[in-house]
Amino acid sequence: MADFPNVTSPRELMQLFEEYGLQPHKRLGQNFLIDANIVRKIVDALEVEAGDLVFEIGPGAGALTTELAKSGAQLVAIELDRGLCGLLGNLFEKWPNVKLINKDVLKLNWGSLFAEFCKDGQTVKLVSNLPYVISGPFVYAILKSSFPFQRAIIMLQKEVARRLVTAPGESDYGALSVLCQYYTDGEVLFNVSKNVFWPRPGVSSAVLKLKPGERLLGVEEETVLWDLVQGAFQQRRKTLLNNMNRIYPSLKNKLPEILEEAAIKEQARPEDLSSGQFAMLARITYNYLK
Ligand code: SAM
């Protein structure tokens, strides 16, 4: 691989783009990593081992992909941009452990991806320098699939990363925070300057580590959790009681009893509840709905 390009070198990256007639697209959140040190830190945080199955979202020109491929892991890289897929296809032509999928990750079904690529007992990890334009929907999608990874390292807009791990009562605590904290244990590892990307983005980034959390509910109870959390935060300044009146009109007369059973005050607002309290409330509500 002596002539493999160094895509974290701005000069070599721009040369490659010119050669393939490519331009960075803002609408696809294309800001490419041009700092080998940050690439190393992300790959190290993934703790990747030979034999792991790693899904990479948005490989771009291959900055992370190149380091991951060297680890001996089986890599499935999902990239929407057809031009970049052409470039990656050539770069990784001789790497049997790299599989490219030219699709929109938001339209993929994680169940089918696992059925196709995951061998029994294999450790599955997720890594991405996530395009900012899809960060919310993407995080919802992996949570909705019950976060089927042993570890995920995701670079996100700094404010979004913070929102996912923030505590109840904070102004940025919302539905995404509750659901993320129900399915995962999250930690912001480090911040990343705008200067390590080409082109330079308008926002700062942070790298987040997610590991599976302890899921307290059964699958049907989790459906109630989603309805409850997403419904409650539609009107976050209203009390939980008022919100639940709107979400579950059939339980109107039972709601004070439900809240009491969950040890939640009637005046509590959605932003006051931890993910554990929401889970408890979902379980009790489920029992009343049955
Ligand atoms: N991983 C590369 C890096 O770190 O230099 C590129 C990261 S860039 C921030 C995001 C990448 O995600 C781009 O290559 C972009 O084309 C791709 N992308 C954007 N939307 C996507 C989607 N819906 N599905 C899959 N890939 C997408």
pLDDT bin (cut points 50, 70, 90) of residue 138 is: very high
pTM of the model: 0.96
135 lines ligand 1 (CB under 6 A): no
If we measure between CA atoms, which residue out of 130, 131, 113 comes closest to residue 122?
Answer: 113
Q: Are strands 124-129 and 151-157 parallel, antiparallel or unpaired?
A: parallel
Q: Pick from 32, 75, 82, 126 the residue to mutate for probing ligand 1's pocket: most ligand atoms within 8 Å of its CB.
A: 32
Q: CB of 2 within 8 A of CB of 190? A: no
How far away, in angstroms, is 221 Cα from ligand 1 center?
34
As a whole number of angstroms, the distance between CA 140 and CA 163 comes to 13
SS (H, E, C) the chain: CCCCCCCCCHHHHHHHHHHCCCCCCHHHCCCEECCHHHHHHHHHHHCCCCCCEEEEECCCCCHHHHHHHHCCCEEEEECCCHHHHHHHHHHCCCCCCEEEECCCHHHCCHHHHHHHHCCCCCCEEEEEECCHHHHHHHHHHHHHCCCCCCEEEEEEEHHHHHHHHCCCCCCCCCHHHHHHHHHEEEEEEEEECHHHEECCCCCCEEEEEEEECCCCCCHHHHHHHHHHHHHHHHHCCCCHHHHHHHHCHHHHHHHHHHHHHCCCCCCCCHHHCCHHHHHHHHHHHHHHHC
As a whole number of angstroms, the distance between CA 258 and CA 270 comes to 15
* pLDDT in the model for residue 1: 46
* pLDDT in the model for residue 247: 97
Q: CB of 75 within 8 A of CB of 65? A: yes
Please tell me the residue having the least CA distance from ligand 1 atom 19. 28
Percent of the chain whose pLDDT exceeds 90: 99
**pLDDT digits over 64-84, tens only?**
999 999 999 999 999 999 999
* pLDDT in the model for residue 237: 93
Give the atom of ligand 1 at the shortest distance from the alpha carbon of 106.
23
Please tell me the residue having the least CA distance from ligand 1 atom 6. 60
Q: CB of 172 within 8 A of CB of 163? A: yes
How far away, in angstroms, is 32 Cα from ligand 1 center?
9
The rounded mean pLDDT for the chain is 96
Cis status, amide bond into 137, omega within 30 of 0: no
SS (H, E, C) 149-206: CCEEEEEEEHHHHHHHHCCCCCCCCCHHHHHHHHHEEEEEEEEECHHHEECCCCCCEE
**pLDDT digits over 238-255, tens only?**
999 999 999 999 999 999
182 lines ligand 1 (CB under 6 A): no
Tell whether the model's pLDDT for residue 107 goes beyond 90.
Answer: yes
* pLDDT in the model for residue 3: 67
**pLDDT digits over 148-192, tens only?**
999 999 999 999 999 999 999 999 999 999 999 999 999 999 999
* pLDDT in the model for residue 143: 97
* Rounded average pLDDT over 273-281: 98
* pLDDT in the model for residue 2: 45
Give the contacts of 148 (CB within 8 A, at least 6 positions apart): 110, 114, 124, 142
80 lines ligand 1 (CB under 6 A): yes
**pLDDT digits over 192-212, tens only?**
999 999 999 999 999 999 999
What are the structural domains, with CATH classification, of the chain? 10-212 (3.40.50.150), 219-289 (1.10.8.100)
φ, ψ of residue 53 in degrees (nearest 5): -105, 120
Q: Tokens 């904290």 label which residue?
A: 181
* pLDDT in the model for residue 4: 82
**What amino acid occupies position 197?**
F
Give the contacts of 90 (CB within 8 A, at least 6 positions apart): none
* Rounded average pLDDT over 16-41: 97
* Rounded average pLDDT over 121-135: 96
* pLDDT in the model for residue 276: 98
210 lines ligand 1 (CB under 6 A): no
